[in-house]
């Protein structure tokens, strides 16, 4: 598939902090020079020395190593992270004050297979369609672990004193990015990458509401987010808003899948209707076959004491007119047909339960 995008919009704001530890790629002023398929938002870990240096190094290394790749895989991302950590270590050797620096990562890459999403830390990537969040990364944070273990609630996590502590980041040795491949993409989908300076001010519900407002342009939507965060956020805040403009599919299978994804409710209703109709037809045909056989067959009980083994199965009535009314071959076919009908079992069981008093026959 070939994915075309509307012009993306970027935030990279210092907020109420003295310096901006966030980094983005492409930089706002350099977007026109980029390949427009790779987006990064990194947040230097708060409290760590030189967080702005860490986020800048990661954006630089990952953009240089991944920009030219046709499809970015998890191995590519983690190899680039390793190179970035080596550069961070080299910087620390020259500047001891940078010891302990780290950064979060969010990555979004579009390619012919769909999209690759990767993250480390509490910066997030969203995919939003038709007023619904289809996908959201899960924060690598102390409070999110408490929530996942049912120790605290989501509401308690918002104001927890340790809500800014991340459990995974680039700079914490031995960490690999969590990678997600997305092929469920349709025209109009939004992808939103952001640092936690955005999410501490804007809830998921508010984000969906803003992006679903058809009365605002994408630029106005991001300006609205900026206005809210400028008032409420205590941190730097950065984001990329990317909307899918069109998708050109290469194969019939891709086109079929795309139609199903874009018309899920309609396709589901059609499938259910077809299923119900098919079941109804099968029941009707089965009923008609059963009636046809039952009209031709009957059970006969011998005029002597009936042994149970004599009641083993149905027999065709051999009337005087039998030779004219039904041929031997037709009899055989009817018997075979009848044996395939579930009602035969009930009839046989009922016949076997008939209790015959031998004395009545003897008299």
Query: Are 59 and 128 members of one domain?
Result: yes
Q: Name residues whose C-beta falls within 8 Å of residue 232's C-beta, 6 or more positions apart in sequence.
A: 200, 201
In this prediction the pTM is: 0.70
Helix (H) or strand (E) holding 125: strand 124-129
Same domain, 250 and 275: no
Q: How far apart are CA 182 and CA 17, in angstroms?
A: 35
Residue 275: what pLDDT? Answer: 75
How many domains does one find in the chain?
A: 2
Domain end, chosen from 199, 232, 262, is at: 262
Segments of 6-44 assigned E as strands = 9-13, 22-25, 38-43
Range(s) of the domain holding residue 158: 2-262
Tell me if residue 67 falls in helix, strand or coil: coil
Clarify whether residues 284 and 195 are in a common domain.
no
Counting as low any pLDDT under 70, the low residues of the chain are 31-35, 46-49, 251-270, 277-278, 280, 287-363
| Residue 70: other Cβ atoms inside 10 A | 8
Domain check: are 318 and 237 in the same one? no
pLDDT of residue 323: 42
Asked whether residue 49 falls in the same domain as residue 136, the answer is yes
Q: In terms of domains, do 159 and 307 share one? A: no
Angle ∠(193,198,201) on CA atoms, nearest 5? 150
Domain end marker among 234, 262, 290: 262
238 and 144 together in one domain: yes
Considering the domain architecture, whether residues 249 and 279 belong to the same structural domain is answered as no
Is the same domain home to 77 and 154?
Answer: yes
Instruction: Write the CATH number for 30.
Output: 3.60.40.10
Whether 130 and 40 share a structural domain = yes
In terms of domains, do 207 and 292 share one?
no
Phi/psi region, residue 131 (left: phi>0; alpha: psi -120 to 50; beta: rest), is left
Question: What per-residue confidence (pLDDT) applies to 46?
Answer: 61
Shared domain for 208 and 331, answered yes or no, is no
Among candidate residues 244, 262, 280, the one where a domain is terminated: 262
């Amino acid at each position: 598939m070939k994915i075309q995008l509307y012009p993306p919009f970027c935030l990279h704001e210092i907020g109420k902090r003295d310096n901006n530890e966030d980094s983005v790629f492409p930089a706002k002023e350099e977007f026109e020079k980029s390949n427009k398929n790779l987006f990064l938002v990194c947040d230097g870990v708060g409290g760590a020395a030189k967080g702005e240096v860490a986020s800048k190094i990661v954006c630089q290394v990952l953009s240089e190593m991944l920009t030219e790749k046709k499809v970015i895989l998890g191995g590519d991302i983690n190899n680039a992270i390793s190179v970035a950590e080596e550069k961070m270590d080299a910087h620390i050797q020259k500047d001891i004050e940078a010891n302990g620096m780290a950064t979060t990562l969010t990555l979004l890459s579009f390619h012919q297979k769909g999209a690759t999403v990767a993250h480390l830390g509490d910066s997030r990537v969203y995919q939003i369609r038709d007023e619904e969040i289809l996908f959201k990364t899960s924060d690598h944070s102390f409070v999110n672990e408490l929530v996942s273990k049912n120790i605290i609630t989501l509401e308690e996590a918002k104001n927890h004193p340790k809500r800014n502590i991340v459990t995974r980041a680039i700079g914490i040795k031995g960490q690999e990015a969590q990678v997600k491949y997305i092929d469920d993409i349709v025209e109009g989908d939004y992808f939103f990458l952001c640092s936690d300076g955005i999410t501490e001010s804007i809830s998921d519900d508010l984000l969906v509401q803003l992006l679903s407002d058809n009365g605002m342009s994408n630029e106005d939507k991001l300006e609205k987010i900026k206005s809210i965060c400028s008032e409420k956020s205590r941190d730097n805040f950065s984001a990329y808003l990317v909307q899918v403009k069109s998708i050109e599919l290469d194969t019939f299978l891709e086109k079929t899948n795309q139609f199903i994804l874009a018309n899920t409710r309609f396709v589901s209703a059609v499938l259910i209707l077809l299923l119900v109709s098919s079941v109804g037809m099968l029941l009707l045909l089965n009923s008609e076959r059963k009636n046809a056989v039952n009209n031709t067959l009957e059970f006969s009980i011998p005029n002597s004491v009936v042994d149970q083994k004599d009641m083993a199965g149905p027999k065709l009535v051999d009337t005087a007119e039998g030779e004219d009314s039904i041929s031997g071959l037709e009899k055989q076919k009817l018997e075979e047909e009848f044996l395939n009908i579930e009602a035969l079992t009930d009839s046989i069981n009922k016949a076997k339960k008939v209790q015959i008093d031998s004395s009545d026959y003897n008299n």
